[in-house]
Structure 1
Amino acid sequence: MNITELRYLVAIMECGSVSAAAKRLYAAQPNVSKALKNLEEEYHLRIFERSSTGMIPTEQGRHFIEQAERVLREVDRLDRSVQEEQERCAELRVMIPHATYASYAAVDYLEQAASIERLHIHIREGGSMEALDHVLRQGYHLALLRYAVEDDEHYTHYCARRGLKMEPIMDFEYSLLTNRDGPLARKAIRDLSELDKYMEILHDDFQLPGEEGGDGVRWHVNPERRIHVYERCSQFSILQRLPTAYMWASPMPRRALEQYHLVLKKCPAQRQQMRDVLVYPDKGRLRPEEQAFVDLLHKEAASTVK
């Protein structure tokens, strides 16, 4: 027995026939007939008598249907209660890379959810391997992975084996991010060695698949002049105060560049192809708060790469 079978049963009684019940519920008639047969066999009773005027419940059938109606009322009450609770409380745990557009999407979601009575939101930044661990072992709902396109096969197989769904967000090439008034803002970099005298900022929690320690980034060129940071506020402060500093960055919203007085430049010497992919457990439909964040993430990504 399941709830759908009980709904079919009550509809048969109210409509007087299997065909009319199927039409009301937008169900296939064979499915409604099979549900009735299943219930009669499971409980060893005859629920309806078939007549030329329609389906007439037996005495046992009438009592059974009354009980089914009580069960359905309780189920509907539970559904309403859960829905009302969801409207009062939002819970969301998200892992994102050090990507400004993703953090903007998170703030957009918080603005959208501000009127909800109870909020339990966790937004954490980190590398792809850490993000996968949080989704698989620490109860996070969503993770935005960032990896080199050449590693796509590794991540695709990894996620498939662990029941994670992948949703593409953005493909891009890293650009050079620097102070708008700094020397690099006016300089075309044709060879990465030209950056040796400048200070590179990098996130120290970026790790490629299979790496044992180290940042694992393939295109850094000057190990003697680096600043390691672990969150984006530090990087923006350094870029504002240190005109000779730079970092490799994904596309950024224009309003962020204006706010921090930065410029994002294409660099012919650095053509690393990158990919941002959202992953989450493949368990059917996303919850409303998860879907809301995903929609905002797509919106921010689309407006950023215009």
Structure 2
Amino acid sequence: MNTLHFKYAVEIEKTRSITQAAENLYMAQPNLSKAIKELENSLGITIFRRTSKGVIPTDQGMKFLAYAKQILIQLDNMEAISSPDRSKERKMRISVPRAGYISKAFSEYIAASDPADDMEVYFCETNSLRSIENVRDNGYNFGIIRYNTAHEKYFTDYLAEKNLETQLLWEYEMLAVMSAEHPAAEEEDLTYAGLSAHYAELCQGDDAVPYVPGAVEKLFEANRPAGTKVRRICMFDRGSSLDFLLTVPQSFMLDSPVPDSLCGKYGLVQRRCSFPDNSFRDILIYSAGRRLTDIELALVNRLYEVRNEAAFKEYI
């Protein structure tokens, strides 16, 4: 059995197209089709079937591809052992939510790296479903997803379906983050209902839950006063969000606790903000059976350290 054919099959699954996969692999389409046919014959199964949505794996194909990905990862790890120069490479793709503690940990990790090392790192801030897709289909080493605990079952089932393993990074309550000039910055006993009734809410666009369209909006809608006009601005760039909070001091954002150093840098304050469903989790995700490398573990450890800076602080 030719393990190179495993790579071909994984590429077809990723692109959902034999034509596109052949182009990505720099080979002729007939040669790719022949290689997959030989692989299917040697396994005695059909890996792919054609549909109106493209080429997709069969049930047996899904099981094969899960094992194939693990084998390719292990082969890459074995190559690293025999290549001394590989130990000095930092090649990594990570997909994460927009969170101050994550960006701070990442920046500090890069700052502490050896300038003599080769480096190629992709740091993608996006929503949870896209992070799952990135880890599952787009070659990302690992990801972090964020969800409300009320939706945990949906994410747990979806991650199992995608053959991804998980590790709890942080469970926390969202805080209201706002400019120090915000009219409510010094008020006591802030509530989401009160803030959303009087001020514009800056959202980060992570509003999708597997199998349940509109679940996030329904959750927040249930915590707004009846008849409240919705004033929500969705931004997908963390830097723009911070600038917006300063430029529009009557706005606020719900976020995981932010390290004090970042709040001071951007002139922000963060306050406890009560609402019944205020329980969230950040979860580390990676392919089942995969072991994180030393350089990946170094970043994960830094994430836990920066998390602790914010987690053990008392908020009012």
**What TM-score, normalized to structure 1?**
0.68
Structure 2 equivalent of residue 277 of structure 1: 283
1:239-274 residue CA offsets vs partner (Å, 9 max, x unmatched): 112221111111110101111111111123464210
Structure 1 equivalent of residue 243 of structure 2: 237
Structure 1 equivalent of residue 126 of structure 2: 126
Provide the C-alpha distance between the structure 2 equivalents of 1:101 and 1:194, rounded to a whole number of angstroms. Answer: 24
Following superposition, the deviation at residue 210 of structure 1 comes to 2.3
Contact 2:185 2:269 in 1 (8 A): yes
Deviating more after overlay: 284-293 vs 154-163: 154-163
Identity across matched positions, percent: 23
Structure 2 equivalent of residue 260 of structure 1: 266
Which residue type is aligned with residue 288 of structure 1?
D
Relative distance call for 1:288 and 1:190 in structure 2 (3 A) is: closer
Provide the C-alpha distance between the structure 2 equivalents of 1:79 and 1:264, rounded to a whole number of angstroms. Answer: 44
Q: Is 1:155 aligned with 2:190?
A: no
1:49-89 residue CA offsets vs partner (Å, 9 max, x unmatched): xxxxxxxxxxxxxxxxxxxxxxxxxxxx976542x222231
Which residue type is aligned with residue 200 of structure 2?
M
Structure 1 equivalent of residue 211 of structure 2: 210
**What TM-score, normalized to structure 2?**
0.66
Contact 1:177 1:246 in 2 (8 A): yes
Structure 1 equivalent of residue 24 of structure 2: none
Q: 2:231 aligns with which of 207, 211, 225?
A: 225
Provide the C-alpha distance between the structure 1 equivalents of 2:217 and 2:174, rounded to a whole number of angstroms. Answer: 16
Following superposition, the deviation at residue 175 of structure 1 comes to 1.3
Any stretches of 5+ residues in structure 2 without a counterpart? Answer: 1-77
Contact 2:183 2:250 in 1 (8 A): yes
Contact 1:146 1:274 in 2 (8 A): yes
Which residue type is aligned with residue 201 of structure 1?
L
Superposed, 1:99-138 pairs within 5 Å as 99-138=99-138
Contact 2:209 2:215 in 1 (8 A): no
SS at structure 2 position matched to 1:275: strand
Following superposition, the deviation at residue 191 of structure 1 comes to 6.3
1:104-151 residue CA offsets vs partner (Å, 9 max, x unmatched): 111122113242432110000111111000000100011101001122
Structure 2 equivalent of residue 184 of structure 1: 184
SS at structure 2 position matched to 1:285: coil
Contact 1:174 1:270 in 2 (8 A): no
Any stretches of 5+ residues in structure 1 without a counterpart? Answer: 1-76
SS at structure 2 position matched to 1:218: helix
Relative distance call for 1:182 and 1:295 in structure 2 (3 A) is: same
Relative distance call for 1:217 and 1:254 in structure 2 (3 A) is: farther
- Cα RMSD, aligned residues only: 2.4
Structure 2 equivalent of residue 26 of structure 1: none
Q: 1:291 aligns with which of 272, 282, 297?
A: 297
Give the paired residue count.
Answer: 229
SS at structure 2 position matched to 1:237: helix
Provide the C-alpha distance between the structure 2 equivalents of 1:259 and 1:278, rounded to a whole number of angstroms. Answer: 28
Superposed, 1:49-198 pairs within 5 Å as 81-82=82-83, 84-187=84-187, 188-190=189-191, 192-193=193-194, 195-198=196-199
Contact 2:170 2:283 in 1 (8 A): yes
Provide the C-alpha distance between the structure 2 equivalents of 1:129 and 1:86, rounded to a whole number of angstroms. Answer: 32
1:195-235 residue CA offsets vs partner (Å, 9 max, x unmatched): 32311111124322224479746215455422221111111
Q: 1:248 aligns with which of 243, 251, 254?
A: 254
